[in-house]
Structure 1
């Protein structure tokens, strides 16, 4: 019973908390390795907002939980960045929140969109406490993701990432992003762009050196493709989707 009351209290706090729109990620830079966010230059006609995703405690103190670069043009996040620690089995709350201070997607945009789920960029599966779990269920951390891919290949990928990062020494830094399909919007509403690809980059210490790993999917076989951070960042790498390119800091050893 006490556990239920605790969750209800957290849900109440989450309902009234607002994620903070900032000029840059200075206030929540701890979610990036060595405080260095990815470098992303949006297309000329695309607007983005920096968001420090947070909850507020009973003393109105903001507790930062992860960071998101959000496109108010596409109405989906460009990426969310978080620190992965040893994940735990945590129940999930399916109450979704909107951010009234940001021009975001709405829950009604997803109504009757059976082919797409609200795909978490920072997934519940990678959280290690109830506050982080609750904070992931905001529409600034979600983009339309093909429902079949989300419940099969991408879910298995998220589980595999947990296994890989369990061997890290200390925290692992993760950035998960979306490549939008700029020709398709959710339910043809001309508001919310669906995702063409999801991608993820991880970086952590293993054997006294930083190890980076990149992923994206679905590829042409509806699978998650594994590639290096370096290949993700090469603009002439032909197998990597357009608009994914940005500089993701991971001091990996030279070839």
Structure 2
């Protein structure tokens, strides 16, 4: 019997870029807690009327085994992620495959694989699609960036619209890019793996893209790792008034975010 799985396999063979897969899971990220420091996801309280869905971002390897790459808390109301969480161990120069996918499960499709838009009449009800960004003047801004990936599979898994939000082009391509590179240098001095959470503050005053997708007002990042056997954390927030990225303590970052929503980024271990 020719099944959807067979179709996906044939499409994989015909494409240089493999399809990423994701899975919408329970509120505790039960299948991908390893991407959070001490397996504890951030304590996040969504604003009134805002719905969120946890996603374990994963792919199939060459042995048809599902491998989880990172975790995302996605707002189906804003149609952008609240945050993505990942573990940084090393960064390698990986060629980018800029094909973007959607998560059909967010729109009630039983197909578990992330795939291009085009299947099912309800796709896009609860999430952004590529058409939302066309001629918008905004970049698709990665939360888990390609620069922080270590292999081809993790690079592919970042290219999902559940890991991106509309980001000012200049900020994305200059100040935020420089920040991502600086974070690599900082985390390479960790004793072992570093835990990273990168999020977005929505701009509730800006017009939505095609009256659907909320634009990001700020991007933020929190890192924590052992340095000299002591947990060390840093927070980042931007753009500031000069279009740059501001470095903060984790508490300072959480205080700044408290003006928009409540989040405790590393709830079990102080950084």
What are the ranges of 5 or more consecutive residues in structure 2 without an aligned counterpart?
1-11, 107-125
Alignment correspondent of 2:91 = 87
Preserved contact between residue 144 and residue 186 of structure 1 (Cα < 8 Å): no
CA distance in 2, matches of 1:172, 1:57: 24
Q: Name the SS of the counterpart of 2:77 in structure 1.
A: coil
What are the ranges of 5 or more consecutive residues in structure 1 without an aligned counterpart?
1-7
Structure 2 residue corresponding to 1:140, chosen from 162, 170, 181: 162
Q: What per-residue deviation string (whole Å, max 9, x for no partner) do you get for residues 112-148 of structure 1?
A: 012x100000000000010000000000000000000
Q: Which has the higher contact order (CA 8 A, sep 6+)?
A: 2
Q: What per-residue deviation string (whole Å, max 9, x for no partner) do you get for residues 200-238 of structure 1?
A: 00000001100000001001111101100012223xxxx
State yes or no: 1:150 paired with 2:149: no
Change (3 A) 1:36 1:56: same
State yes or no: 1:251 paired with 2:269: yes
Alignment correspondent of 1:74 = 78
Moved over 4 A (4+): 8-13
TM-score of the superposed pair, with normalisation by structure 1: 0.88
Change (3 A) 1:230 1:241: closer
Q: Name the SS of the counterpart of 1:150 in structure 2.
A: helix
CA distance in 2, matches of 1:11, 1:141: 22
Q: Name the SS of the counterpart of 1:246 in structure 2.
A: strand
Alignment correspondent of 1:96 = 100
State yes or no: 1:105 paired with 2:128: yes
Preserved contact between residue 10 and residue 131 of structure 1 (Cα < 8 Å): no
CA distance in 2, matches of 1:241, 1:153: 24
CA distance in 2, matches of 1:198, 1:245: 15
State yes or no: 1:57 paired with 2:61: yes
State yes or no: 1:40 paired with 2:44: yes
Structure 2 residue corresponding to 1:196, chosen from 217, 224, 228: 217
Q: What per-residue deviation string (whole Å, max 9, x for no partner) do you get for residues 45-95 of structure 1?
A: 000000000012355421000000000000000000000011011110011
Change (3 A) 1:13 1:112: closer
Change (3 A) 1:149 1:13: closer
Q: Name the SS of the counterpart of 1:27 in structure 2.
A: coil
CA distance in 2, matches of 1:169, 1:10: 42
Change (3 A) 1:29 1:10: farther
Structure 2 residue corresponding to 1:242, chosen from 253, 259, 262: 259
Change (3 A) 1:109 1:22: same
- CA-atom RMSD in angstroms: 1.9
TM-score of the superposed pair, with normalisation by structure 2: 0.83
Alignment correspondent of 2:119 = none
